[in-house]
Amino acid sequence: MDMGFSTATTPEQIPQDAEWPAFSVPPVRFLITGGAGFVGSHLADELLGRGHRVHALDDLSSGAIENIRHLKDHQGFEYTIDSCSDGRVVAELVDEVDAIFHLAAAVGVRLIVESPLKAIETNVHGTEVVLAHAAKKKRPVFIASTSEVYGKSQAVPFRESGDLVMGPTHLGRWSYACSKAIDEFLALAYHTDRALPVIIGRLFNTVGPRQLGRYGMVVPTFARQAVLNSPITVFGDGRQQRCFCHVQDVVRAIADLMELGDLYGEVFNIGSDEEVTIRQLAECVRELAGSRSEIVTIPYDEAYGGGFEDMHRRVPDTTKIEQAIGWRPTRDLDETLSDVLASTRRAIAGERERRGGLSDRRQMLRTVIVERRVGPGDRRRIVAAPSEVSAALGV
C-alpha cells in the first residue's frame, strides 16, 4: 500500500501537518507484536475479518500458540516466534508491512510484582526498538498502553488529559505503570520530533476468551474457581471498583482508531465505564456459573507481599474516543462474564479429555510391556520395542 512518502524521505522533509492515508481499503499488511497473546490474537481475528493481512510476532513468554492455532491455515496470516526486542527481526518485519500494532508487553500484577526488572526491560526496550524501526520506514504505530498509568489519581473518571500520580519507586508494583508511561512519552516524542504517525490507547480491564489467570488476571481466575466449585479468592477487602470490557469490543476500537488515519499524536481511553466492586464481581461470576464456591478474602500482604498498593477505583472517561470514532462497548458485564465462563468450561473439558487420553495411552503402554515380559514360558525382563511404544502412545 502506498504510504504517501518514500522510504528515502527524511523527517526534516515531512511537514508536521502532513496528512497520512487512512487504512480503509483492504488488504493492508499489519504487524502485531504480542500477536499470540490474549488481546493480540483477538486483534488478528478482527483485522483478518476486515480483509486485511496480519503478521504476528510473539516470543510466547505470555502468549500461546494455542491462541493462533485456528489462524495458521489462513492465507492472510503469518507468524514469527521471536522477541520485539530483537532489532534485526523487527527491522525485517517492519519493512514488509504497512502499519504496526505494538501490543507486546510484560503484563499482570503478579508478574510485575515478582519480576519488576523484566517488566521495565520488556516494556521500555521493546517499545524503543519498534518505534525506532517504524520511524525509519514511516510506518504508523498503535501503542497499547494501560489504565495503570493513572496510578493513584483520584480524579475519577480518568481523562486522557489528567495527571498521572505514581507511587514510590521502592515499590516494584509501580514499575509497570511507569514503564508504560515512558512508552507513551517515547511514542509522542517520535511523533513530534520525527513525524512518526502514532496513536496511543490506554486499555482498561479487558477480559474474554483466551485470557489466563496465571498472571493475576481476576476474571479468568474467578471463572475457573467457580466452574470447579473451588473457593473464589478475592484479594484485599473486595471493595475496590473496576470496569471490565469485552476483548472483542476493545479490538474493534483499536482497529477503528488505526483505520481512520487522522488521529495521530492522540491518546485514547479504551474500556467500559460499567463499574463493579471486586466482591460483587465474584458474586456475579458465582451466580452465572451456578457454582457452590465460597468467596474468601486474602489480604494484599499475603497475596503480593508487604507494602502492596492498589487503586480504589479505576473508571475511564470515554468521551474522547466516542466523539472521535463513535465507539462504545456493545456487551454488558453479564454478557462478558457469560462468554468467559463458557470459554472456561470448554478449556477445563479439554484438559480433562487430554488427561483421560494420556491415561488410556499409558495403560496401553503398560499392557504392551507386561505382555512381552510374562508371555507363555518366559519370565525374563523384556522391554517393548520402540515401535510398539510409539504405537501404544499414538505418536
Its sign, for the CA torsion 41, 43, 49, 52, is negative
What range does the domain containing 373 cover?
349-393
Q: Does 380 share its domain with 249?
A: no
Q: Does 32 share its domain with 141?
A: yes
- How many Å separate Cα 377 from the centre of its chain? 61
Query: What three-state secondary structure class fits 78?
Result: strand
Buried b (16+ CB within 10 A) or exposed e, 34-58: bbbbbbbbbbbbbbbebebbbbbbb
- Report yes or no on 338 lying in a domain: no
Per-residue pLDDT of the chain (395 residues; tens, 9 = 90+): 333 322 233 333 334 444 444 565 568 999 999 999 999 999 999 999 999 999 999 999 989 999 999 999 999 999 999 999 999 999 999 999 999 999 999 876 667 777 778 878 889 999 999 999 999 999 999 999 999 999 999 999 999 999 999 988 888 778 888 999 999 999 999 999 999 999 999 999 999 999 988 777 999 999 999 999 999 999 999 999 999 999 999 999 999 999 987 899 999 999 999 999 999 999 999 999 999 999 999 998 787 766 667 788 999 999 999 999 999 999 999 999 999 999 999 999 999 988 876 655 555 555 444 444 444 444 333 344 444 434 333 44
What CATH number does residue 93 fall under? 3.40.50.720
Q: Does 186 share its domain with 324?
A: yes
Q: Does 378 share its domain with 249?
A: no
- Report yes or no on 384 lying in a domain: yes
- Report yes or no on 289 lying in a domain: no
Structure-block grid coordinates of residue 268: 485514547
- Report yes or no on 38 lying in a domain: yes
Q: Does 151 share its domain with 42?
A: yes
Which distant-in-sequence residues (6+ apart) come within 8 Å of 280 by Cβ? none
> Could you tell me if 103 and 159 are in contact, meaning their C-beta atoms sit under 8 angstroms apart?
no
- CA 269 to CA 320: how far, in whole Å? 8
Q: Does 39 share its domain with 96?
A: yes
pTM comes to 0.83
Choosing from 302, 331, 360, the residue where a domain stops is 331
Distances (CA, A) of 7 to 32, 136, 376: 21, 7, 78
Which residues have a catalytic role annotated?
176
- Torsion angles phi and psi, residue 176, rounded to 5: -65, -50
Q: Does 327 share its domain with 353?
A: no
- CA 205 to CA 220: how far, in whole Å? 12
Radius of gyration of the chain (CA): 24
DSSP assignment, residue 148? G
Q: Does 57 share its domain with 112?
A: yes
- Report yes or no on 106 lying in a domain: yes
- CA 272 to CA 267: how far, in whole Å? 16
- Report yes or no on 302 lying in a domain: no
- Report yes or no on 306 lying in a domain: no
Q: How many domains does the chain have?
A: 2
